[in-house]
Amino acid sequence: MEQPGLGSTPGTHKHPFDLESVLERVREAIQGHAAAAMFELAERGHTSLFEQLVACILSIRTRDEVSLPVALRLLSTARTPEALRRLGIERLQALIRPVTFPEPKARTIHDIAVRTVEEFAGELPADAQVLQSFKGVGPKCAHLALGIARGQTYISVDVHVHRVTNRWGYVHTRTPEQTLAALEAKLPRAHWVELNRLLVPFGKHVCTGTRPRCSTCPVLSMCQQVGVSTHR
Are residues 41 and 71 in contact, defined by beta-carbon separation less than 8 angstroms?
yes
Angle at 203 between CA 202 and CA 207, to 5 degrees: 95
Give backbone dihedrals phi and psi of 25, rounded to 5 degrees, phi first.
-65, -35
Give backbone dihedrals phi and psi of 116, rounded to 5 degrees, phi first.
-65, -40
- Of these, 12, 175, 214, 229, which contacts ligand SF4 (CB under 6 A)? 214
Whether residue 105 lies in the annotated active site: no
User: Which positions from 156 to 175 touch ligand SF4 by CB under 6 A, shown as an x/- string?
Assistant: --------x--xx-------
Minimum CB distance to ligand SF4, residue 215 (Å): 8
Q: Whose Cβ is closer to ligand SF4: residue 49's or residue 214's?
A: 214
CA distances from 80 to 48, 97, 184 (A): 9, 20, 32
Residue type, 113: A
Does 141 contact ligand SF4 by CB under 6 A? no
Minimum CB distance to ligand SF4, residue 161 (Å): 12
Per-position DSSP letters for 32-89, written without gaps between them: TSPPPHHHHHHHTT--SHHHHHHHHHHHTTS-HHHHHHHHHHHHHH--SHHHHHHH-H
Q: Whose Cβ is closer to ligand SF4: residue 150's or residue 213's?
A: 213
Minimum CB distance to ligand SF4, residue 162 (Å): 13
Minimum CB distance to ligand SF4, residue 203 (Å): 8
Q: Whose Cβ is closer to ligand SF4: residue 14's or residue 115's?
A: 14
Q: Whose Cβ is closer to ligand SF4: residue 32's or residue 151's?
A: 32
Give catalytic residues, as residue numbers: 140
